Copies of this chain bind each other. A is one copy, B any other.
Amino acid sequence: MVDADRLQLRNADGLTEAEFLARYEPGQYERPSLTVDMLLFTIEESALKLLLVKRKDHPYMGCWAFPGGFVGIRESVEEAMYRELKEETNVDRVYMEQLYTWGDVNRDPRMRVVSVSYMALAPKTALRPSAGDDAQEVAWFTVEKRPLLDYDGEGLKNEAYLLSLTSEDGSVKIAYIVTERKRKNGVLNIADTHLELFPGTTQRLAFDHQKAVNLALERLKNKVNYTPIAFNLMPEEFTLSQLQRVYETLLGKPLYKANFRKKVLPMVMETEKKTENVKHRPSQFYRFNPDYKED
């Protein structure tokens, strides 16, 4: 019905919507707390890096975690995410997409917390990570996921992977074994993915954050093939070789140069510039072609 009509409707108590809302008292039942978590990825020296902060207090004190925080009652979930981004990196516009909402009952030992995670991508040069007002330790971790051959010995195609996060100085290394099993109708689901700490690993991520890292890597790997998402990791101008290294990092495998160029050519525009003072043939700089349409 049209809004004009609808607003005249009276409910079982004889109230219009306006009257109902004026008298509405939210129930006093317990509500979960709601947080946002940011998985901010960048690329540097052909490595995929993720921004993590070290927790200064319980729970998971001393463990590394995603930057994030509580959603205020007067801000949207997305606004909370951008506020966190600004606090952590001093930038206010990067590519961002919602990743997943984590709702297990005991994922935070303090109390019930549901967390909405976002994946953000940015070129490293655009970012100036800073300790927030709580002066926590912040660091970039190189993220890698590679097949674990013959891990469970069942002779199946690779269904086991090693997911590792390494701090830039190499002092912290966190590793998980990821195993995946498809269920009935062949569609891979969150619940079909199992992560456990790699034997001998002395560090872990806080909460259930390892699951979000794994999910984000899978989504990146998928999307890079059929969307221009990788350009969000590039500076304004870049060479095709640089772009190829980014694709190879995200996909975890080498690509043929000629084929790669044919594939990305419709997405880019040549610029006037070339690399200079290199001891080999100079390479052309390109930029993203904003008129590019998928299909």
Instruction: Count residues of chain A with CB under 8 A from any CB of chain B.
Output: 75
Q: A3-B204, A6-B62, A21-B58 are in contact. Are A95 and B29 (CB under 8 A)?
A: no
Q: A12-39: which residues lie under 8 A (CB-CB) from chain B? A: 12, 15-17, 20-21, 24, 26, 29-34
A93-152 residues with Cβ-Cβ distance < 8 A to B are 95, 97-98, 100-101, 103-105, 109-112, 114, 116
CA distance A229 to B184 in the complex (A): 10
A89 to B33, CA, bound (A): 30
Whether A235 is near chain B, meaning CB under 8 Å from some CB there, is no
Asked whether A59 is an interface residue with its Cβ less than 8 Å from the other chain, the reply is yes
Whether B77 pairs with A114 at a CB distance below 8 angstroms is yes
Copies of this chain per assembly: 2
Does A155 have its Cβ within 8 Å of any Cβ on chain B?
no
Residues of B within 8 A of A184 (CB): 288, 290
Whether A110 contacts B58 by the Cβ 8 Å rule is: no
CB-defined contacts of A70 to chain B, threshold 8 Å: 29
Name the distance in Å between A36's Cβ and chain B's nearest Cβ: 9
Which residue of B2, B26, B73, B223 contacts A202 across the interface (Cβ within 8 Å)?
A: B2
A258 on the B face (CB < 8 A):
no
When the two chains form their complex, are residues B73 and A231 in contact, meaning their CB atoms are under 8 A apart?
no
Q: Which residues of A contact B (CB under 8 A)?
A: 1-3, 5-6, 9, 11-12, 15-17, 20-21, 24, 26, 29-34, 56-63, 70-71, 73-78, 80, 95, 97-98, 100-101, 103-105, 109-112, 114, 116, 157, 182, 184-187, 189-190, 202-204, 223, 227-229, 231-232, 267, 288, 290, 292-294
Q: List 23 A-B contacts (CB under 8 A).
A: A12-B57, A17-B59, A17-B109, A20-B58, A20-B59, A24-B110, A26-B111, A30-B73, A31-B34, A34-B34, A71-B114, A76-B105, A77-B101, A77-B104, A77-B114, A97-B187, A185-B229, A185-B231, A185-B232, A186-B231, A186-B292, A186-B294, A187-B228
